[in-house]
Structure formats: C-alpha cells, structure tokens
Chain A
Amino acid sequence: MELNGGSVVAMIGKDCVAIASDLRLGNQAVGVASNFDKVFPVNDKLYYGLPGLATDVYTLKEHLRFRVNMYRMKEEREITPKTFTHLVSSTLYEKRFGPFFIEPVVAGLPTATELDPHPKPFISTMDTIGCITTPKDFAVAGTAQDKLYGVAEGLWEPDLEPEDLFETISQTLLNAVDRDALSGWGAVVHIITHKEVITRTLRARMD
C-alpha cells in the first residue's frame, strides 16, 4: 500500500456527489508520474476510485470493466451504485487470503425508480477484503487517509450545493495530501449532478 502512494476522497452534497483523487504515482520516495488518475467512470452517474498498489489499480479496473459489461449485457440496464459496490466487494473477498492492495471508493447518483422516486446520493468505501462502509457524509482512502479523515470531519457539512461541494472537497483533498509525502503531485475532482458531470484539474503543490 505504501509503495505507489495516492489518495481518494468522496463526498455527498445536495443531490450531487463529488469524488476526487491526487495524481501521484511513485516508487516509495521517488516520484514517477504526475498524471496517474485513480478515478474511473462506470457510467454517466457512477464513478469509483482505486487508491493503493498501482498494478492492482489496472488489474481491478479491467476486471471490473469486464464484470460491469457482463452485467449490462445480461440485465440490459445500467448497474446501480449499491449493486456496483457489492460487485466490487465480492471481487475483493474472492481474494480474501491474498488480497488486492486497494481500498476502493464508489460515488454515484442512483436513477429514480418506482419504488424509490427520490433516491439519495450514494458513496461507499471498503477495506482491502471487501468490508463495505456506506457513510452519509464522506468516504476516504489511500496513504493520506488519516489526514483526510481529520480535514473532512472538520470541513464537511450537509446539503452543499455542487459549487460549494467542489470547494469543500478540493480544500479537503489539497490540504490533507500536503501533509502526506506519498500523495499529491496534482489533483482531479469530478462533481456528479443529475444534469452534468464537471471534471476539474486543480492547481496543487508539486513538491
């Protein structure tokens, strides 16, 4: 986990979610890449982040792409955030005694259904063997996890509008990774609302 570095944070706002990650890829102390994005889309309104060992980021990303494509073909519909979370969890638990060194973070907006016409925005995270946590406020993972917990606990408040959520999640991520040697070297934030997905690359400290 401490080989490549990297952190991800997700937050819930008013009818929107945001997920952000840093861009560093390193080999312990040596920085190798500053464009290593760790957040990927599943579909329009569902994104997930994979902080941890970089080789497992690629493996898991491709594995999940396969599983989601199979789901889409069999079910003839898009996967929901909650189901995707359980899909990732089962994939991780399969390797219970030789786990992937990844602690995924999932963020998405469920689509309205008849049973649930006003679904709440969804975020979740899990440990390396797939124990799901579904917080109501924010989810953090990666080498700067402890710092992210602290900053997010202080800055987050409920019902933030998309633009305010952007400020809060950006400041949370930037300030937490500035205190972590293995994370940083740039940051990307995705804000997901029902209308649009805004992706912004932040100006961050490059040391």
Chain B
Amino acid sequence: MVAAKSVEAPNIGFDFSNYARNQFFGERLQGIPKATSTGTTIVGVIFGGGDSGEEYGVCLGADTRATGGPIVADKNCEKIHYLTPQIRCCGAGTAADTEFVTNLISSNLELHALSQGRPARVVTAMTMLKQYLFRYQGQVGAHLVLGGVDVTGPQLFTVHAHGSTDKLPYVTMGSGSLAAMAVFESSFRENMKREEAIALVARAIRSGIFNDLGSGSNVDVAVITKNGTENMRNYEMPNERGIKSRNYKFRRGTTAWTKEAVRSLIVSEEIKSTTGAGKDQGGVEVVPVPTGAGAGGEEGMEIDT
C-alpha cells in the first residue's frame, strides 16, 4: 500500500519550486517583473531626557510613496510597521519583504514575550531581524529603521538587508536618506523636546519627499514613549491633489455592450400570514367587534387591517 502523497506543499517557509522555470522565462522574455519597492525616506530620532525636562522617547518618520519601477504604485502606503505596542519599524527596499518580515518578527516577539513573561526589548527585535536577514544573504530586500522604548530606555537601530545593524541617536534610510540626513546633520541636538523632535522628523521627511524621486506624497510620524505609542498617520499632507474643475462623467449608454447577464442577489420573498386572526386561516369566523364605549371602543377593533 503506497501512502498517498500530500496535495499541498508544506505551508512553512519559502517554496522554490518555480525557480528554474522563472529563470528560463527571464532569458526568453524581457526579464522578470519588477517587484514593488518603497523608494523611500525613513528616519528616526531619540529625544527627551537630560536638559529638556521631558521624558525620553523615539520619533520615527516615513514618506508614503511605493514605486514599481518608474511608476508610483501606491500614493499613500504605510511604511511604519507595528512590531509590539512599544516598538515600531520603518521599512525601505522591497515592499513585500519589509511587510512580511516585520509581520513575522512581530508574531515571534509576541510569542517570546508571552513565554518570557515580560515585554519584548528592542534589541530582541533587532537580533531576530538581523539573524533572519543574514540567513537569506540579502535576498530578502528589507532595509529597516527600528525604534522603541523598553525597560532599558529608548533604542534606535538600523538593520540592512544583509544583516548588519547600527545603533545611533539619529538615523535615515532609503533613497531619500541623503536628503533627510542633511536636515539632521544641521539641526539635530541631543535632549530635544517632543514637539521639536516631531518638527525635525517632519522636515527631514519633507526634504526627502520633495528632493528624492523615489519618495513622495505624505508624512507619517510615530512617537514612542514609555507610556505608549502615538501613531500620526498622514501627519502632514503637502501634496494634496487639486479639485478637478471639469466633470468627466460619461452620458449613460455611451459604451456599447453585446451581452448582459444580471445575477440577482435578492431571493424573492412572499409573506404569508398564518398566525393570529388572519383572514387567510380557514375555519375561523370573523366576528366584527361593535364600536361603542369602553377602552378602544371608539375606533373599534378591526382584525388584520
């Protein structure tokens, strides 16, 4: 008796079964389709503590443009990913990779925190990310800015796709990193107040949006302190589209069609009353109630009006 082979390939990890076929297609045709990348400007700063008098924290910022080659694929994508309630991760590089790697590590961090009985630390997230990315030798194209607050204080790291990490007080990544770093190098100070940090981050992202072709649209900001995270999605929208002055609706009937099939989703209903003194009931004598004095007597009682 031969055991039946499973129909489904195992659902864990990557499936390389199409690799050879795709190499063949790559040679035969114009090449493999380009994946969506987040050209991007992503930044992070540590603020607070020391002279500022405010509690310390991490402020992360990102633009919202996702490109597929030279075309803008998404005008308002979210690049600040959730890892834990107190840790966030901005992602640049191949968009699917940043999305899936942050989801995977977020999931593992939650399990880790539950098994350890204490909130996950930023270094734990960093170590999980770098060990995963190194294992894939840079093929998983995720360039990340990782920031958060844990028991050891505010932490800010960068993680590159090949698995290297840096620990710094202010960081920028992505194609717009030079534009953003120019802003940081001139204006960053240690122990900034919260409002100052947010303004600086927004300026750095705007610098990337307007000067770098791979970044654009809006500014997203996330502020993490030991009390929690404030997510400011679309904190600034400096590229709102103007209202169209003309209406481009077509006259109904413009488009010629040859066949139409209508699939109705409403099942027709027929209501048949069979309870109470319904007139439909057979064998029931309809006795008119006389009008007169008494409760409800004036208007009379009509059965089944």
Contacts and interface: CB of A to CB of B under 8 A. Distances in A.
B77 to A, nearest CB: 7
Given A127-B68, A157-B244, A202 B256 contact: yes
Nearest to A102: B33
Given A133-B77, A157-B248, A98 B21 contact: yes
Interface in B16-44: 16-22, 25, 28-30, 32-33, 35-36
B240 interface: no
Contact of A94 (B14, B249, B261): B14
B29 A128 contact: no
Contacts, number: 146
A133 B66 contact: yes
A98 B22 contact: yes
B274 interface: no
B15 A98 contact: yes
A135 B261 CA distance: 28
Contact of A196 (B74, B100, B263): B263
B115 to A, nearest CB: 25
Contact of B30 (A2, A133, A197, A202): A2
Interface in A149-206: 149, 154-155, 157, 160, 163-164, 166-168, 170-171, 174, 189, 194-203
A131 B19 contact: no
B22 A157 contact: no
Contact residues of A: prevailing secondary structure: mixed
B257 A203 contact: yes
Given A163-B252, A197-B265, A97 B14 contact: yes
Contacts of A170: 255, 257
Interface in B184-228: none
Contact of A93 (B16, B22, B100): B100
B259 interface: yes
Given A149-B71, A157-B249, A171-B254, A196 B264 contact: yes
Contacts of A101: 22, 25, 33
Nearest to A56: B18
Interface string B250-279: 111011111111111110000000000000
A97 B106 CA distance: 22
A96 interface: yes
Nearest to B12: A94
A174 B35 CA distance: 26
A167 B266 contact: no
Given A3-B25, A101-B33, A130-B96, A45 B248 contact: no
Interface string B35-70: 110000000000000000000000000000010100
Q: List the 3 closest pairs (A to B, CB-CB), nearest first.
A: A98-B18, A98-B19, A131-B96
